[in-house]
Structure formats: C-alpha cells, structure tokens
Amino acid sequence: MNQDNERPDLDIADPQVSLAYRSMTEVSTPAKLDAAVLDEARVAASRNRPAFSIGGWLRPAAFVATVGLSLAVLLEFRETEVFDSVPQIATEPDDRYRPAAGGADRAEAREDDAAQAFGQLPAKESAISDPKTPLAESAPAPGQQDKSADSSMLPDQPLDQPSPAAKRVPDNTAYDSAIRQTGRSLPQTAAVSALHADAARHCGDEQTRSADTWWQCIEALREADRAEAARQEFELFIAAFPDFRPAQ
C-alpha cells in the first residue's frame, strides 16, 4: 500500500474485513470533478508563472554569495601579513657584550706608544752603521712608518737579510722595528716571551735587572749581528717591562 505499512498491524487489522471492504463497489471520481481540478491546477500554474521569478534565483544567488564571501575572506588572509605584529628579531649586536668603552683602544694606544717610543730611541751611530744590521735594514722610512701596533700587517722580513738602506734608518725606529720583526703585537710578543722563559739567556742577570741595562744588552746583541738572540731577549724584555719607554 505504501511505505507506512512496514509493520502491518496484524493484531488489529482483519483480513476478512479488508477483503470485505475491498469488495465494495469500486467508486471512481466523476469526470467533471477531474476536469475541474485539473483545470484549476493549470490555471494556477499559468497565472503564477512570472517571466522573471525572484524566488527562483534566491538559492543560486545565496550560493554565489557564499562562495564569493569565502574567497574574499581567504584572499584577505593571504594578503595580510600575519606576522606584521611580531617584533623583529634583533640583528644588531647586543651592546651588553661590547667591550668597555676605550678598553681595546687603551691597549692599542699602549702598543702604539711603545712602538713609537721604541722608534724614538736615540740610536747609536756605531751600532747601526753596519749596513747589514737586520733591524735597521727592515726599518721603514720615517714617513712610511706604520703607527699601528699590529705588526702582522707589515712584511715579515727575515732578520738575517741585509737591507741596503740600513745606514739611513734612524735609531728611533729600532724599537719599533724590533716589534715588527717579532711578527706580533706587543701582547702577543709578551705571550711568546713566556715560552722562551726557560731558553738560554743572552743577557746576564745584572743586565736584566733594569730596563735600561737590559735594553742596552739587546742593542749590543743587535750590533753584534746576533739577531735571533736579540729577538729572544727583546721578547722577554717586553714581558718584563711592557711600559718601557726608551729614553730619547
């Protein structure tokens, strides 16, 4: 009969009664009644069929609006810089870890002063008259003297190579050139001198008691063409007297 009778009411409905009812005269609707109803249906359908039905477009319009709004929201999220509000990660070095103001400058100044002072030492004429004096040979001209204490930037010329212009190098550059020939800065030279602490000494104990005598010993070693010995003593000398300023 229809889908409602999925569970027949067997306890109520009686097949005999149903059969009896079914056997009653088959009654059908009058033809005029059918015509009247069908005509009414056709008239109603034709009367209410506008050329343009707004109602018929509501659902498609709603669907299009939904899709359009979704795309707009999606594009808005993609264009927006989401991480604009995130603070930029600091790329500049933290000032907390910077060395104390002037600390490195002071060390550098000391090196410059020592180099300059070394260069201003009055050189003995007899000591540097030998053109083969290695220190004098490698000493640059006054005008070309590099004030920087970083001797690593200077050419590392072997001490035993004579310089043709050794006679013209003034004595005030001996200290400076000695620094340069070590190939290191003053702090580095002082560190290296610690390595030579146990090495054979070329200057006696009495000579190394004071800076001046020790310096004179070093000068003597250079004059004696004992460059290596002079350099070793000089490194030890710098470690012992880092603030030494040769007398002018």
Q: Which residues bind other proteins (CB under 8 A)?
A: 1-9, 12-30, 33-34, 36-38, 40-42, 44-45, 48-49, 55
Q: Least CB distance from residue 58 to other proteins, whole Å?
A: 13
- Is-contact 115 207, C-beta < 8 A? no
- The DSSP string of 211-241 is HHHHHHHHHHHHHTT-HHHHHHHHHHHHHH-
Alpha carbons within 13 angstroms on the beta-carbon side of residue 40 total: 6
Minimum CB distance to other proteins smaller for 54 or for 101: 54
Minimum CB distance to other proteins smaller for 32 or for 96: 32
The rounded Cα 53 to chain-centroid distance in angstroms is: 67
Q: Least CB distance from residue 57 to other proteins, whole Å?
A: 13
- Is-contact 246 120, C-beta < 8 A? yes
- Is-contact 142 173, C-beta < 8 A? yes
Q: Is 55 exposed, middle or buried (0-12, 13-18, 19+ CB in 10 A)?
A: exposed
Minimum CB distance to other proteins smaller for 12 or for 153: 12
Minimum CB distance to other proteins smaller for 31 or for 101: 31
How far, in Å, CA of 208 to CA of 95, rounded?
44
Minimum CB distance to other proteins smaller for 43 or for 72: 43
Minimum CB distance to other proteins smaller for 14 or for 146: 14
Torsion of CA 45, 49, 55, 59, to 10 degrees: 80
Q: Which residue has tokens 């000398």? A: 237
How far, in Å, CA of 235 to CA of 179, rounded?
9
Q: Least CB distance from residue 36 to other proteins, whole Å?
A: 6
Minimum CB distance to other proteins smaller for 50 or for 87: 50
Q: Least CB distance from residue 65 to other proteins, whole Å?
A: 22
Q: Is 246 exposed, middle or buried (0-12, 13-18, 19+ CB in 10 A)?
A: buried
